[in-house]
Homo-oligomer: A and B are copies of this chain.
Amino acid sequence: MSDAPRPLADLPIALDAMGGDRMPDAAVDGALQAAAAGLSVLLVGDRERLEATLRARGGDLPIEHAPDVIGMDDHASDVRRRKEASVVVATRLVKEGRASAVVSMGHSGATMASALLVLGRLPGVDRPAILANIPTKTGYCALIDAGANADCRPAWLQQFAVMGSVYARAFYDRAEPSVGLMSIGEEEGKGNELALAAHTLLKSTPGVRFHGNVEGRDLLAGTTDVVVTDGFTGNVMLKLAEGEAKVIFGLVRDALRSSWRAKIGGLLVKPALRSIADRLDPGTYGAQPLLGVAGYAFIGHGSADARAVRNAIQTAGRMIDAGVLDRITAGVAAIGEAEAAAQGAADGAA
What sequence of 0s and 1s flags, for each residue 145-178 of chain A, a beta carbon within 8 Å of any chain B beta carbon? 0010011000000000000000000000000000
A141–chain B nearest beta-carbon distance, Å: 12
Copies, count = 2
> Quick check: is A233 within 8 A (CB to CB) of the other chain?
yes
**Are B231 and A216 touching (Cβ within 8 A)?**
no
Q: How many residues of A contact B (CB 8 A)?
A: 62
Chain B residue nearest in CB terms to A219: B240
Tell yes or no: A68 within 8 A of B by CB. Answer: no
Q: Which residues of B contact A221 (CB under 8 A)?
A: 243, 247
Q: Measured between alpha carbons, how far is A237 from B215 in the docked complex, in Å?
A: 9
CB pair B245–A244 under 8 Å, yes or no, is yes
Question: Within A271-324, which residues are at the interface with B (CB < 8 Å)?
Answer: 271-273, 275-276, 279-280
Q: Does A184 contact B (CB under 8 A)?
A: yes
**Chain B hits for A258, CB < 8 A:** 272
Tell me if A242 is interfacial: C-beta within 8 Å of chain B.
yes
In contact, A217 and B243 (Cβ under 8 angstroms): yes
A333 at the interface (CB under 8 A from B): no
Residues in chain B near residue A183, CB distance under 8 A: 232
* Cβ of A287 to closest chain B Cβ, rounded Å: 18
Give per-residue flags for A248-260: 1 if the beta carbon is below 8 A from chain B beta carbons, else 0: 1111100110110
For A276, list chain B residues within 8 Å (CB): 248, 251-252, 255
From B220, B229, B237, B256, A237 is in contact (CB under 8 Å) with: B237
Q: Does chain B have a CB within 8 A of A265? A: yes
- A243 near B272 (CB under 8 angstroms)? no
B243 touches A220 (CB 8 A): yes
The answer to whether the Cβ of A55 comes within 8 Å of any Cβ in the partner chain is: no
Answer yes or no: A267 CB below 8 A from chain B CBs.
yes
Residues of B within 8 A of A191 (CB): 150, 232
The reply to whether A137 and B250 contact each other, CB–CB distance below 8 Å, is yes
Which among B219, B255, B266 is the interface contact of A265 at CB below 8 angstroms?
A: B266
Listed residue (A231, A247, A279) with the most chain B CB atoms within 10 angstroms of its CB: A247
Q: Out of B236, B237, B265, which one reaches A269, CB within 8 Å?
A: B265
At the interface, yes or no: A262 with Cβ under 8 Å from chain B?
yes
A182 at the interface (CB under 8 A from B): yes
- In the bound assembly, the distance between CA atoms of A250 and B222 in angstroms comes to 14
Interface string of A121-156 (1 = CB under 8 A from B): 000000000000000110000000001001100000
Q: Does A63 count as interface, using CB distance less than 8 angstroms?
A: no
Min CB gap A99→B, angstroms: 29
Q: Could you give, for residues 224-240 of chain A, a 1 whenever the CB lies within 8 Å of some chain B CB and a 0 otherwise? A: 00000111110111111
Does A11 have its Cβ within 8 Å of any Cβ on chain B? no
Least CB distance from A1 to B in Å reads 49
Can you sample 13 A-B contacts with CB below 8 Å? A150-B191, A182-B236, A184-B231, A184-B232, A192-B230, A215-B235, A216-B239, A216-B243, A220-B240, A221-B247, A244-B248, A262-B269, A262-B271
